[in-house]
Structure 1
């Protein structure tokens, strides 16, 4: 049910681009190997530097993250480094760092990204262009770079996010992704902020759900100017840890999306269970899935302004089969969720 909170209207003068001051918020913990890549992409944004406030939170790093950030931003007044020393309300970990960043921000528009991301030059303008009266949260499109393993992870990002975009275009709220997200100050403050929300490690999904519950609209985008390119997970173990953290929030997803994810994970176990289906049915269903999946990925890549070889698109299927079974087993394995050298019990996830 929509709430009756007044929404701030986005005002645009006819014939002039919408260029408000915005806050870009980056929480960083032990990111010495990748933070400069992110900072360089933010320094290259096609947006007036005087209208940018770029805040980086050093969340108790034990490496050289803070020193690298300080050296990079010393001659860039639009950047500022914060050191996180105390908890705010119920927030912990990354959610606490983000709560501090949002309190320090001085604009009406919060753009969230991660330290392992590089954003397209027109990212800010593209995200702002999706705003309309009543819209509180906008999510961009993300992929991953690197070798074959990284590009397959990138296809995973694109597949899932464009599926979520299709649901959003039909008015079905699913989730937002905190590495490529815009939230208006009005929508954020209506939730009470991260420090007022019950702590979970899937803080982006939690904030999205709180914003939508308060009657704000949402947009999910798939276009080149809002593309973010993440560094891939370096190993299968690291990828499994990431996916376990993601799946920890599946219980709070809308039933139609949670059902799709779990169905995708169980698809192969059911299809290839010995003797469950005739071989001709197994072959027919499997090759139909590959065809539809490859076509969907081809369209998604074109919409996002990316290209990929047909051989890699076809390799995505065995990768997905292998990872789906591994992730399902890893999620069911009773062990804590590990994230940024911190451990969280499943209830917190």
Structure 2
């Protein structure tokens, strides 16, 4: 028993060390292509529901983009908000030199619901060949458009940037480490040509790829609408790229409470359920570290378990450092030990929430 547990944990550590080496060495990275010339017009699509507080920050960052304003088309879909979402959006974009429009969403199209339905409407209103999709709680860098466009080579249907969670509290910073570690692993897998997922708050979709899927109104409804569209585009033969750089980094507001974080992760688990069986099994094995470590401590004592845990913290810390550096951020090394407690608590909380948490609640709507 002890030998099996040690073998499993050592293989886990070796796999993480290998992934860290590939990520830090940027093995398999796709070289950037020249941005198309002349510069194309692009559409920025934002689904907004009850976002009067967050939306001005997002729109202010879009006004600062290092891209000609006259080539930008910014469309905000107001999804039956009961606050001043539409009014604050209009006020924030007064005097904008490009095209800006708030579109009130009053009906569902086809299979689409929630955010997917809003994006289905916005895509119909868009007049360009490139759809840049983001969220109302996101702040974009000035380099956002060129950074993603440079990866939109012929045949590529989706380009995904990275998202960093940023905030002043420890709870916010622990979420930030969690996101960048996860995205670092996604980057390693995606650069091996294996489609994993996309980020619906930092994503380019070409019109050709979007229309080939039939659009959100034709796709089976999913609360992880970005993943559903990504899967559909890949299934229709389009390539994909993931861009892990500061130039393509979107900054997201953190989840304010533990309960809100669990609701977010419960929604994401719906996307995990749609992954290919092989990837789901790999994720299951990867998530088995803590149970195996606990079993090792019971079978062999605290000494071997602490040694394995220390090795995990070290390897994971190197990966987190590399991820922060590539994202243009600085890792707070003193948070690595609290991060272990955070991940342990989050793992058990998600299991409990998955079993007893009820329906997915998203933007005030319930999805069974």
TM-score with structure 2 setting the length:
0.87
SS at match of 2:163: strand
SS at match of 1:23: strand
Q: Indicate whether 1:26 and 2:46 are aligned.
A: yes
Q: Indicate whether 1:313 and 2:336 are aligned.
A: yes
Take 2:123 and 2:212, find their aligned partners in 1: how far apart are those partners?
13
Aligned residue number for residue 222 of structure 1: 244
Q: Indicate whether 1:141 and 2:162 are aligned.
A: yes
Q: What residue ranges of structure 1 are gaps of 5+ in the alignment?
A: 1-10
The more displaced of 86-95 and 283-292 is 283-292
Task: Flag the 1:277–1:185 CA change in 2: closer, same or farther, 3 A.
Answer: farther
Say if 2:34 and 2:150, in contact at 8 Å, map to a contact too.
no
Q: CA deviation at 1:131?
A: 1.4
Take 1:24 and 1:176, find their aligned partners in 2: how far apart are those partners?
17
SS at match of 1:160: helix
Say if 1:268 and 1:325, in contact at 8 Å, map to a contact too.
no
Take 1:89 and 1:321, find their aligned partners in 2: how far apart are those partners?
41
Q: CA deviation at 1:330?
A: 1.1
Take 1:12 and 1:270, find their aligned partners in 2: how far apart are those partners?
47
Take 1:12 and 1:42, find their aligned partners in 2: how far apart are those partners?
22
Provide the aligned C-alpha RMSD in A. Answer: 1.8
Say if 2:89 and 2:102, in contact at 8 Å, map to a contact too.
yes
Say if 1:269 and 1:325, in contact at 8 Å, map to a contact too.
no
Q: CA deviation at 1:256?
A: 4.3
Say if 1:264 and 1:324, in contact at 8 Å, map to a contact too.
no
Aligned residue number for residue 190 of structure 1: 212
Matching residue within 271, 278, 297 for 2:320 = 297
Matching residue within 329, 332, 346 for 2:352 = 329
Take 2:122 and 2:44, find their aligned partners in 1: how far apart are those partners?
9
SS at match of 1:195: coil
Q: Indicate whether 1:211 and 2:211 are aligned.
A: no
SS at match of 1:87: coil
Aligned residue number for residue 249 of structure 1: 271
Take 1:141 and 1:35, find their aligned partners in 2: how far apart are those partners?
20
Q: Indicate whether 1:65 and 2:85 are aligned.
A: yes
Q: CA deviation at 1:12?
A: 6.4
Aligned residue number for residue 47 of structure 1: 67
Take 1:57 and 1:34, find their aligned partners in 2: how far apart are those partners?
14
Task: Flag the 1:255–1:289 CA change in 2: closer, same or farther, 3 A.
Answer: farther
Say if 2:45 and 2:75, in contact at 8 Å, map to a contact too.
yes
Take 1:218 and 1:92, find their aligned partners in 2: how far apart are those partners?
25
Aligned residue number for residue 240 of structure 1: 262
Take 1:191 and 1:33, find their aligned partners in 2: how far apart are those partners?
34
Take 1:278 and 1:18, find their aligned partners in 2: how far apart are those partners?
66
Q: CA deviation at 1:137?
A: 0.4
Matching residue within 82, 102, 106 for 2:123 = 102
Q: Deviations over 1:176-215 (max 9, x none)?
A: 0100000100000000000000111110000000000000
Q: CA deviation at 1:233?
A: 0.3
Instruction: Give the total of aligned pairs.
Output: 333
Q: CA deviation at 1:161?
A: 1.2
Say if 1:145 and 1:230, in contact at 8 Å, map to a contact too.
yes
Q: Deviations over 1:248-294 (max 9, x none)?
A: 12111133443344344443233224725543332222111111100
Q: Following superposition of structure 1 onto structure 2, how do residues 275-290 of structure 1 map, counting pairs within 5 Å?
A: 275-290=298-313
The more displaced of 67-76 and 161-170 is 67-76
Matching residue within 34, 57, 67 for 1:37 = 57
Q: CA deviation at 1:26?
A: 0.3
